[in-house]
Amino acid sequence: MEDFLQHVLNGLNLGAIYALIALGYTMVYGVLQLINFAHAEVYMLGAFSIYYSNKWLHLSDHPGWTSFVISILIAVMVCSLVGLTIERLAYRPLRGAPRLNVLITAIGVSLFLQFSGQAVFGADPKLFPQVLQDKDLIQFGQIQIRSFDLTIIGVSLAAMALLHFLIHHTKMGMAIRAVRHSRSSASLMGINVDLMISLVFVLGSSLAGVGAVLVGLKYPKIDPLMGMLIGLKAFVAAVLGGIGSLPGAVVGGLLMGLSEEMVVAYLSSTYRDALAFGLLIVILVFRPSGLFGKYEVEKV
């Protein structure tokens, strides 16, 4: 039982991170109907931005909340810039092109970032600077609650709450929702559609940046291909929750993290990567619109 609770805790941790990244996928899918493969690489670049900025700022010499907040700010800034650049250079020229072409471009951008990352940063794994120290907070019998666990869950919740506020309680959020609903009518109402799409990329990429710092703290090995698998799993989480739906992405991420942790704990760790895709096929067979999605019939 205590083992089980420990696994639940670990699963929630993993799930919170998946949820953060899944939000980026689901938001972009909502406005552009595009699987933004490059999102995972934005996350990777976020982690590397901390690695390199640490060489200048020496944040890991003074681990603590200040360093933590500074590194989150750096990662968010770098990721937003990268997301904005990708959208501007690769996706915007293809606005109105067939969806398949945009999808291929997304895969191209993702591969380009992965492999130029290998060429620039080197293919060998690097150690993520520890900008915050891990402490043993509470111990119930066998269950350990470490400060990182609470930090990850707390920071992700805060980021999601902020996103919720921005989307549902500001004018900008209302504009984004309008663009999501119908791009052409939003533009008739005087909304700058391109600007809103850029904003969606900025918001999604910022969450990926927050995720990068949190993952870096918990699993401090980073390499240029680190985004690929976590990105795919986050995408499956978004589909599980219903792509395009924000609460769906969060619930999907948590479910994904929990089920993965359980597979590793009670079956075999070699199957952890196959689980995500097995789950995806099952969803597509039984409920293609996901848990929270609406099934849309294509109209002429």
Q: Which residues bind other proteins (CB under 8 A)?
A: 33-35, 90, 93-94, 97-105, 107-112, 114-116, 118-119, 228, 232, 235-236, 239, 268, 270-271, 273-274, 276-278, 280-281, 284-285, 288, 298, 300
User: Cβ of residue 238: shortest distance to other proteins, in angstroms?
Assistant: 10
Task: For residues 132 and 145, give the distance between their C-alpha atoms in angstroms, rounded to a whole number.
Answer: 16
Task: For residues 6 and 240, give the distance between their C-alpha atoms in angstroms, rounded to a whole number.
Answer: 24
**139 Cβ contact list (under 8 Å, min separation 6):** 145
Task: For residues 71 and 60, give the distance between their C-alpha atoms in angstroms, rounded to a whole number.
Answer: 10
Task: For residues 182 and 199, give the distance between their C-alpha atoms in angstroms, rounded to a whole number.
Answer: 16
Between residues 82 and 276, which has the closer beta carbon with respect to other proteins?
276
Task: For residues 216 and 76, give the distance between their C-alpha atoms in angstroms, rounded to a whole number.
Answer: 14
Between residues 23 and 38, which has the closer beta carbon with respect to other proteins?
38
Between residues 68 and 235, which has the closer beta carbon with respect to other proteins?
235
Q: What stretch of H or E contains 300? A: none
User: Cβ of residue 112: shortest distance to other proteins, in angstroms?
Assistant: 4
**168 Cβ contact list (under 8 Å, min separation 6):** none
Residue of 8, 7, 29 lying closest to 234 (CA atoms): 29
Between residues 67 and 259, which has the closer beta carbon with respect to other proteins?
259
User: Cβ of residue 158: shortest distance to other proteins, in angstroms?
Assistant: 30
User: Cβ of residue 246: shortest distance to other proteins, in angstroms?
Assistant: 20
Between residues 103 and 162, which has the closer beta carbon with respect to other proteins?
103
Task: For residues 243 and 104, give the distance between their C-alpha atoms in angstroms, rounded to a whole number.
Answer: 19
Instruction: Give the position of tokens 């350990």.
Output: 144
Between residues 123 and 161, which has the closer beta carbon with respect to other proteins?
123
| CB hemisphere CA count around 76 (13 angstroms) | 13
User: Cβ of residue 271: shortest distance to other proteins, in angstroms?
Assistant: 7
β-strand 221-222 against 136-140: which pairing, if any? Answer: unpaired
What is the DSSP code (8-state) at residue 93? G
If you compute the radius of gyration of the chain from its CA atoms, what whole number of angstroms results?
Answer: 19
User: Cβ of residue 195: shortest distance to other proteins, in angstroms?
Assistant: 21
User: Cβ of residue 224: shortest distance to other proteins, in angstroms?
Assistant: 11
Between residues 153 and 228, which has the closer beta carbon with respect to other proteins?
228
Coil, strand or helix: which one is 140?
strand
